[in-house]
Structure 1
């Protein structure tokens, strides 16, 4: 879940879904997630046209958690811009007055989309491909912007697990979204069978896919931080309840 989703609208073809592609986009973005500081009016991102021969248009927009395109309380400026071959530019996500009406005690998640539009081909019967990048955008209210001291002790370390039947429930007591991208029973083990990445909402809980048996009494969970890094947390369980064991977590031994 750390990598941006690349969708490919195909001209002259019937295709309504999105495909996850390994293809290299002509329009590149400088990050894999956006953290919008609620104490500021906007956040800017760097974009580049990696094609050194052709100009491209870059079209940006925002979707809500349900995938609906929105223009408030956040909007993209400019919505469309032209990038000459090999050139760089910026795109901005601007907060509108409605942003102050969002929950101020926890994050709100959106999705930032950037689509490249290639120049029209002068060749007949040409199939043109336009790649699209879709990444998470977290609106983080000013009231919960972490201090430097808090950043030194990541909030993800406050996660707990509760065994319910043959599965573990992840409990997130923090005001931040936590994205988990791996789960295993040991530091050097393989990803547990049936695991799928999940994003645990602020002050919420979600159930892990693998069975509690597959994860054992010392589960290891990997999360994505603000910078796209993937730290791993080791958990120590006592009965049905598990807490992060900082001494056993990789990097802290």
Structure 2
């Protein structure tokens, strides 16, 4: 019997037996632990679920966040819980901006009784954002004045640049002229780090006097923001509620 590990995004989870209850996790600095629910969608066989944390570079780490238990058995059509806990050295992370980690979840199928069987061990990965206590927003702020509205688009040559002046990671999944019906095919989704700029594959000429920017919020939603553009900059004016 051979087992091959296949890395997949959570959105591809329709093919996996073990599913996760979210697509991203914000770990607030005033919390010691976050719980995640996992489900074995297979109605016949138990699976092992293995979880671990990677840093922003993709290196496996055991601090300042740790997954407990690292491995557990999930019975057919049953749920289980994983905990991501912070350790003492969590305070050594920058407190003026978010830090990025990744949570990995690998399903390990039961051993097949048939000889020479090829089995796939699917693996999912989601982003984990450590948000220092001073940067935590209330539910009202997240709903009515989200930090994503502070990003701007600036012209550099003939390229559109996303400028993030906030201490938060912001994932942009679409930029287009308001006159366009949909996001251009081939737009490169980007995650813009705190206090940074990132080039897009959108030319400035593709934007008009008004533009739309779509992002992913803390809950996995995809709000659309409306921007007014000058000859060199686009700024937020309103959001589609």
> Taking structure 2 as the reference length, what is the TM-score of the superposition?
0.92
The 5 Å alignment of 1:1-253 reads 11=2, 18=7, 21=12, 23-151=14-142, 152-186=144-178, 188-192=180-184, 194-246=186-238, 249-251=239-241
Looking at secondary structure, tell me which structure has more strand per residue: 2
2-structure distance, mates of 1:169, 1:84 = 48
Q: Secondary structure of the residue that 1:242 maps to in structure 2?
A: strand
Contact kept in structure 1, 2:8 and 2:124, CA below 8 Å: no
Q: Which moved more, 1:136-145 or 1:17-26?
A: 17-26
For residues 33-73 of structure 1, the C-alpha deviation after alignment (integer angstroms, 9 at most, x for no partner) is 01101101111101111111101000000111111111111
Contact kept in structure 1, 2:160 and 2:204, CA below 8 Å: yes
**What's the Cα RMSD here?**
1.9
2-structure distance, mates of 1:78, 1:22 = 22
Shift of 1:239: 2.4
Shift of 1:23: 4.3
Judged with a 3 Å threshold, the aligned counterparts in structure 2 of structure 1 residues 170 and 93 are, in CA distance, closer, same or farther, namely same
Q: Secondary structure of the residue that 1:130 maps to in structure 2?
A: strand
Judged with a 3 Å threshold, the aligned counterparts in structure 2 of structure 1 residues 59 and 150 are, in CA distance, closer, same or farther, namely same
Shift of 1:129: 1.0
How many residue pairs end up in the alignment?
A: 238
1-structure distance, mates of 2:56, 2:103 = 11
> Taking structure 1 as the reference length, what is the TM-score of the superposition?
0.88
2-structure distance, mates of 1:195, 1:174 = 23
1-structure distance, mates of 2:183, 2:229 = 19
Q: Secondary structure of the residue that 1:99 maps to in structure 2?
A: helix
Give 5+ residue unaligned stretches, structure 1. 1-9
